[in-house]
């Protein structure tokens, strides 16, 4: 396909014949501290006269972003734990793991540009988020205020829960969120009994993943990890991804399919059954309802948070064993 005309000008010399001159190594520009930081109080009322942004060259912006991103790709190509999906369950898992094990490299892969999954609002797009006790323990740990209504608590806006959790997770130095990136497949290794162990994920830009039907040969990237925790939510265009793949690769027979709404049964079931479904793959949150045929619970979110707490526990319980297996 020809490149877009506006971006391409034909020259007489072919690219191959142009000798490459100069040093092409990426250099870190020396930091010249011309502009010392100011406080907001110092900025006040200075807009007309003294105010100007510090100068920048456009390439500095490009390099500031790309250098960090490519460094992260390099660092996390071998991760300790990969979390698929940054919804309420995935983020809760990441929070617990980040706190417990600052020594582990944890990558979160989120298909959407905006992390948070379905937890920005409560039921029927209302603002408040209900959590049944004992999930208030998770809110207390995060320092999120709530109204105590006896057997359950209410956060005034679901977005307060999600934004607080997200901001804490992103501050852990050992956690990297790759958003706008979809998990397209799982890396597998054979086990002695003929089944497989999950040993990482196959990734692609989500926009590329969405165009495999109309563009060919857009190969993915990979991340190796002894533990993958899948929290991709309900079945849907992207949801329940890893467990659907387990069915298609004949590692589980079939999906139970999410059952009708029953708050009391559903939340206990999701938390209690959060587990390693096949070696190396832990499933939590609403994705699990598709495996086990568990009830849905509607707009009560305690099970998502505590399923994340349990997923982190399960991951650490099997981590050393899987890491040893993954070394060969």
CB of 216 to ligand FAD, least distance (A): 21
CB of 87 to ligand FAD, least distance (A): 2
Strand (E) or helix (H) holding 160: helix 158-171
Q: Is 266:229 a contact under the CB 8 Å cutoff?
A: no
Q: Is 119:162 a contact under the CB 8 Å cutoff?
A: yes
CB of 90 to ligand FAD, least distance (A): 5
**C-alpha–C-alpha distance, residues 325 and 308, integer Å:** 24
Q: Judged by CB under 6 A, which stretch of 9-17, 63-71, 83-91, 213-221 contacts ligand FAD?
A: 83-91
3-class state of residue 157 by DSSP = coil
Binding mask 108-127 for ligand FAD (x = CB under 6 A): -xxxx----xxx--------
- Contact call for residue 239 and ligand FAD (CB under 6 A): yes
CB of 315 to ligand FAD, least distance (A): 16
| Among residues 83, 135, 175, 183, the one that binds ligand FAD under rule CB under 6 A | 183
| Among residues 82, 83, 89, 277, the one that binds ligand FAD under rule CB under 6 A | 89
Strand (E) or helix (H) holding 310: helix 302-326
CB of 6 to ligand FAD, least distance (A): 34
CB of 15 to ligand FAD, least distance (A): 37
Q: Is 85:233 a contact under the CB 8 Å cutoff?
A: yes
For residue 190, list its beta bridge partners: 196
CB of 60 to ligand FAD, least distance (A): 31
Give how far Cα 151 sits from Cα of 60, 88, 168, Å: 54, 21, 27
Q: Nearer Cβ to ligand FAD, position 84 or 277? A: 84
**C-alpha–C-alpha distance, residues 272 and 288, integer Å:** 11
Binding mask 275-304 for ligand FAD (x = CB under 6 A): ----------xxx--------xxx--x--x
Identify residues 26-65 at the interface with ligand FAD (CB under 6 A): none
| Among residues 85, 226, 279, 280, the one that binds ligand FAD under rule CB under 6 A | 85
- Contact call for residue 256 and ligand FAD (CB under 6 A): no
Taking the alpha carbons at both ends of the chain, their separation in whole angstroms is: 43
Using H for helix, E for strand and C for coil, what is the string for 104-140?
A: CCEEEEECCCCCCCCCCCCHHHCCCEEEECCCHHHHH
Q: What are phi and psi of 296, to 5 degrees?
A: -85, 160
- Contact call for residue 162 and ligand FAD (CB under 6 A): no
3-class state of residue 183 by DSSP = strand
What would the two tokens of residue 149 be? 């209504």
Give how far Cα 209 sits from Cα of 111, 137, 183, Å: 9, 38, 9
- The DSSP secondary-structure symbol of 175 reads E
Q: Nearer Cβ to ligand FAD, position 180 or 323? A: 180
Q: Nearer Cβ to ligand FAD, position 128 or 325? A: 128
Number of residues that bind ligand FAD (CB under 6 A): 32
Q: Nearer Cβ to ligand FAD, position 231 or 251? A: 231
CB of 26 to ligand FAD, least distance (A): 30
**C-alpha–C-alpha distance, residues 110 and 85, integer Å:** 5
Q: Is 218:204 a contact under the CB 8 Å cutoff?
A: yes
Q: Nearer Cβ to ligand FAD, position 196 or 305? A: 305
Interface residue list for ligand FAD (CB under 6 A): 84-90, 109-112, 117-119, 182-183, 231-234, 238-239, 241, 261, 285-287, 296-298, 301, 304
């Amino acid at each position: 396909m020809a490149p877009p005309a506006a971006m391409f000008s034909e020259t007489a010399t072919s690219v191959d014949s142009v000798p490459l001159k100069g040093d092409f190594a990426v250099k870190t520009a020396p930091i010249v501290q011309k502009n010392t930081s100011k406080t907001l109080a110092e900025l006040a009322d200075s807009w007309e006269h003294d105010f100007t942004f510090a100068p920048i060259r456009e390439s500095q912006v490009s390099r500031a972003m790309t250098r960090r991103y490519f460094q992260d790709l390099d660092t996390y190509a071998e991760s300790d734990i990969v979390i698929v999906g940054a919804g309420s369950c995935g983020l809760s898992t990441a929070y617990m793991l980040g706190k417990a094990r600052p020594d582990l490299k944890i990558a979160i892969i989120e298909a959407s540009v905006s992390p948070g999954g379905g937890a920005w609002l409560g039921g029927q797009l209302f603002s408040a988020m209900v959590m049944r006790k004992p999930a208030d323990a998770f809110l207390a740990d995060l320092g999120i205020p709530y109204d105590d209504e006896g057997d359950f608590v209410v956060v005034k806006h679901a977005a307060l829960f999600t934004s607080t959790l997200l901001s804490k997770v992103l501050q852990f130095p050992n956690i990297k969120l790759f958003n706008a990136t979809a998990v397209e497949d799982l890396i597998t290794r054979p086990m002695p009994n003929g089944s497989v162990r999950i040993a990482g994920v196959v990734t692609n830009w989500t926009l590329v993943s969405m165009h495999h039907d109309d563009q060919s040969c857009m190969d993915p990237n990979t991340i190796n990890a002894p533990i993958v925790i899948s929290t991709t939510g309900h079945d849907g265009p992207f949801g329940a991804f890893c467990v659907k793949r387990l069915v298609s690769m004949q590692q589980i027979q079939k999906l139970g399919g999410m059952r009708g709404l029953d708050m009391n049964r559903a939340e206990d079931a999701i938390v209690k059954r959060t587990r390693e479904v096949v070696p190396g793959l832990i499933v939590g949150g609403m994705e699990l309802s598709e495996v086990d045929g568990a009830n849905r619970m509607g707009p009560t979110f305690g099970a998502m948070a505590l399923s994340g707490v349990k997923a982190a526990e399960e991951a650490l319980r099997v981590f050393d064993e899987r890491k040893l297996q993954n070394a060969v």
